[in-house]
Structure 1
Amino acid sequence: MQNSINLKNATVEDIPLIQSIAEQTWRPTYGHILTEEQTLFMLDMMYSSESLTRQFETNTFIFAYEGESPLGFAGFEPKDDEVMKLHKLYMLPAAQGKGIGKLLIQEVAKYAKQQGLKFVHLNVNRNNKAIGFYEKQGFKIIKEEDINIGNDYWMNDYVMQLDV
């Protein structure tokens, strides 16, 4: 399937599409980990139009398309002189398992390398089955991190690292 996939940089005009993909992917991804209340809180915190507009000031967003159909996206930014932080990687449920996430990770790693960075980091919930996917892409767990995101909600994550 990867041969027919096109990657396209997103702009602020694409915020509704980012929101739509997030809305379609969050519950299948986190429904067994988060309460509905926390899901709604986090979707608003990370995917409101205001939040995404701010993110576009420092983050790059890339969509994966098959023809005219969007399949998923990645959002990332350089954090320092060594690390590209992959903040978001979401595929529509029907597009999962088809190599699109791998393709987007490769693109993020390419951006990192072009900027002279050494690593791609990401946070993943310690109960998320995506850990195995990331390990297959070459990421390694480097530490645990518990982040208070407000409203008495916590993100209990692994930080994973990919050498580029």
Structure 2
Amino acid sequence: MSWLLLHRPLGQFIGNPRRHWQHLATRMVEPNKELRTWRAWACWYLAKEILPEGDFPADLEQIREEGVIEPTHGEIVANLIRLSPADDLSRWLAALDWTHQQLGRERRMAMPVRVRRIGESELPVIQRLGHEIWRKCYPGILSEGQIDYMLSVWYQPDAMAREMHTRGAWFALVEAEALGAVGYLSFERYPENVLFINKLYVQPEMHGQGVGAAALAWTEERARELGCYRLQLRVNKHNAPAIRAYQRAGFKFLEDVCSDIGNGYVMDDFRMEKSLL
């Protein structure tokens, strides 16, 4: 299957294997439903690794309506070990290793990180990171004009400083060992014991190494210290990698929110929430 996907003819319709395996895994029937479900997720993972998500997207409507959470590598391994009477795991890992070799991709390992609250003097670092990360992650999701506009409104150091002083917002840098700042976050306390995450971004080359998860865990600790019972955030409806990460961290879909942000632009988001009780 990996060979077929890697050698797919350009411009020829092949359907959407990623979505096919997602549907198969979530709609499996007996006999041996559970084993066959995890075999389907193993095939889905290969498709996910090979096919560009922009061209072969997940079924986000099903993910939202049915609460589907796409599994991690570790979850697939654990369930194939638990369920398979044959050599499913070794065959899958071999196919995955071969796929990564063909793509010239090295296996990503968890990276030690620290999250550090900052003051006004370091807000220009967040401004720089924001411009770098947004221009890597948002083309294809937002227009170039909207990216420019939102960066100009929300990422000026004086605007972020006003958030600190008038709304009590926290800003923090996410730092990786030997690399320095690779991401940032901000949040503020809302009424009714809600901690709202305004920003949480990590350089895309750091994805898959536990950096975002560490930032979320640090934020959750701060929320508990501040007496908050819920975490909330907004995520663009087309930002599939972020939605996937938040679901895996325990966030649930709360509502659709579409906001006019001026200059003819809107933010079309999901509001998501995680209970800390």
Same fold (TM > 0.5): yes
- Structure of higher CA gyration radius: 2
Partner of residue 22, structure 1: 130
> The residue matched to 2:256 in structure 1 has which SS?
strand
Matched residue SS, 1:31 = coil
Please provide the CA RMSD for this pair: 1.4
Deviation at residue 3 of structure 1 after TM alignment: 6.3
Greater relative contact order structure (CA < 8 Å, 6+ sep): 1
Aligned equivalents of 1:141, 1:31: Cα separation in 2: 24
Gaps of 5+ in 1: none
Which of 202, 209, 225 does residue 114 from structure 1 map onto?
225
Aligned mates of 2:164, 2:205 — CA distance in 1:
27
Distance in structure 1 (CA, Å) of the matches to 2:271 and 2:225: 23
Question: Given residue 101 of structure 1, which amino acid in structure 2 is its aligned partner?
Answer: G
Q: Which runs of 4+ in 1 moved over 6 A?
A: none
Paired position in structure 1 for 2:160: 52
Which residue, 214, 223, 229 being the options, matches 1:103? 214
| Greater strand content | 1
Q: Which runs of 5+ in 2 are unaligned?
A: 1-108
- Which residue number in structure 1 is paired with residue 141 of structure 2? 33
Instruction: Give secondary structure in 1 for the equivalent of 2:274.
Output: strand
What's the CA shift string for 1:57-109, capped at 9, x where partnerless?
21111212124511111100101132000000011122222111111111111
Partner of 1:72: 183
| Kept in 2: contact 1:2–1:103 (CA 8 A) | no
SS at match of 2:209: coil
From the two aligned structures, give the one with the greater helix fraction.
2
Name the SS for the 2:208 alignment partner: coil
- Which of these residues, 41, 60, 63, is aligned with residue 173 of structure 2? 63
- Give the equivalent residue in structure 2 for 1:142: 254
Give 1:56 shift.
2.0
The corresponding residue for 1:83 is: 194
Residues 84 and 117, structure 1, Cα contact 8 Å, conserved in 2: yes
